[in-house]
């Protein structure tokens, strides 16, 4: 299985002798700051219990009614009234990074690459390039010293999860770095994005039941190489898939799920698994029928036998709202907690990400 991951990510066969020590990329630590929890354990427990933090915000719809949102709560009175989304995200991502980094005493900034997932400015006008740059710098400066120069920004939204994990594996397998800190942060609770999505009729407001509740979150997972024959169990990334759709949300055509299905199939093949061997599927759906239909069509294209007993479909947005680029790392962090505490439906998981752009992504992990 690891040979498939190696060849799939590098395009080459494993070097001779590599089979004696088999390696995979695993999650060593996680961090979450979101509307239902300011730490990884509390946030994961709240999501598992289906707790949400939806409340009326200061934003209003076209008829003057308050818009529901999922905002990160104040931390020990640190927030000031009127703090903007960028300030909340700054505090949140610092907390998420600190949680994930503290899990491995061997972590040193100089051998750690930081990969940051942020919104695509072409799809999200509330995140222009200068804001992306500021938030990226916050992530780089959170560790005690400068991180490895391989650190980079992925401003492609949630679907950057797959290419970021591919790049992380490449850096780790060549021993260029010892750790990769994968971070996702996003907030739709800002004036520009709220107005933009209102114009596109995407928000859940009076007169539109086919919309999402805007949210915000920051999540981080610490990735490192782990021996396949180790006695220590861990969530290991076995496969990734990434595909561009021919038709997008903006084309106003019904979805067919082909691109998402192709991404799923890539990830499954790389992992050496079939769809019916997946025990839980974590999806970034947030209430819009377009993406719900796409997800159902895509899964139907790859599933050829009954799923295992107890199969689960996990929706983070039912607790934290639409969190964009933070969705992928938050889903990984949540399943990391579920496996450790024995709440997962089984060892194999599939993660899927879509968006209003063309990109679709899928990731397969296993707890072993």
Pairing label, strands 280-283, 348-353: parallel
Q: Give the separation between CA 237 and CA 183, rounded to whole angstroms.
A: 16
Number of H helices, E strands in the chain: 10, 12
Q: Is the pLDDT of residue 12 over 60?
A: no
Q: Is the pTM of this model over 0.75?
A: yes
Structural domain span for residue 89: 2-6+21-227
Q: What is the pLDDT of residues 200-229, one digit of tens each?
A: 999 999 999 999 999 999 999 999 999 887
Total domains in the fold of the chain? 2
pLDDT in tens, 256-280: 999 999 999 999 999 999 999 999 9
Domain boundary pick from 179, 207, 227 = 227
Do residue 43 and residue 78 come from a single domain? Answer: yes
Asked if 35 and 183 sit in the same domain, the reply is yes
Please check whether residue 99 is in contact with residue 91, taking contact to mean a CB–CB distance below 8 angstroms: no
User: Could you give phi then psi for residue 284, rounded to 5 degrees?
Assistant: -95, 30
The CATH number of the domain where 257 resides is what?
A: 3.40.47.10
The answer to whether residues 293 and 249 belong to one domain is yes
- Chain CA centroid to CA 195, Å: 25
Residues 93 and 189 in one domain: yes
Does the pLDDT of residue 346 top 70, yes or no? yes
CA 282/CA 335 separation, integer angstroms = 9
Render pLDDT for 105-117 as a digit per residue (tens, 0 to 9). 889 999 999 999 9
Summarised one tens digit per residue, pLDDT across range 295-305 is 999 999 999 99
Asked if residue 62 is part of any domain, the answer here is yes
Region class of 77: left (phi > 0), else alpha (psi between -120 and 50), else beta: left
């Amino acid at each position: 299985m690891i040979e498939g991951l190696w060849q799939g990510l590098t395009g080459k066969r494993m070097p001779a002798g590599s089979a004696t020590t088999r390696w995979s990329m695993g999650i060593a630590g996680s961090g979450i700051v979101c509307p239902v929890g300011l730490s990884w354990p509390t946030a994961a427990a709240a999501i598992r219990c289906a707790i949400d933090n939806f409340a009326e915000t200061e934003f209003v719809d076209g008829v003057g009614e308050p818009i529901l949102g999922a905002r990160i709560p104040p931390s020990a009175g640190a927030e000031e009234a009127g703090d903007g989304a960028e300030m909340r995200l700054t505090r949140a991502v610092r907390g998420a990074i600190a949680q994930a980094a503290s899990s491995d005493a061997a972590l040193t900034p100089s051998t750690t690459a930081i990969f940051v997932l942020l919104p695509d400015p072409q799809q999200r006008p509330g995140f222009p390039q200068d804001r992306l740059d500021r938030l990226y710098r916050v992530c780089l400066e959170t560790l005690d010293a400068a991180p490895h120069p391989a650190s980079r920004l992925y401003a492609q939204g949630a679907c950057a999860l797959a290419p970021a994990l591919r790049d992380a594996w490449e850096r780790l397998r060549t021993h260029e770095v010892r750790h990769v800190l994968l971070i996702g942060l996003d907030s739709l609770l800002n004036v520009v994005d709220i107005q933009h999505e209102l114009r596109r009729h995407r928000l859940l407001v009076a007169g539109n039941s086919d919309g999402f509740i805007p949210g915000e979150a920051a999540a981080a997972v610490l990735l490192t190489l782990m021996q396949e024959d180790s006695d220590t169990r861990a969530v290991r990334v076995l496969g990734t898939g990434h595909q561009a759709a021919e038709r997008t949300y903006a084309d106003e055509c019904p979805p067919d799920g082909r691109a998402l299905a192709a991404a799923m199939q890539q990830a499954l093949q790389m992992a050496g698994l079939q769809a019916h061997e997946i025990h839980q599927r974590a999806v970034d759906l947030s209430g819009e029928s377009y993406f719900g239909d796409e997800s159902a069509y895509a899964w139907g294209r790859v599933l050829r036998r009954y799923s295992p007993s107890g199969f689960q479909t996990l929706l983070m947005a039912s607790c934290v709202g639409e969190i964009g680029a933070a969705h992928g790392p938050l889903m990984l962090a949540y399943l990391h907690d579920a496996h450790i505490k024995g709440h997962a439906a089984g060892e194999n998981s599939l993660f899927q990400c879509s968006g209003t752009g063309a990109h679709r992504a899928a990731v397969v992990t296993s707890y072993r």
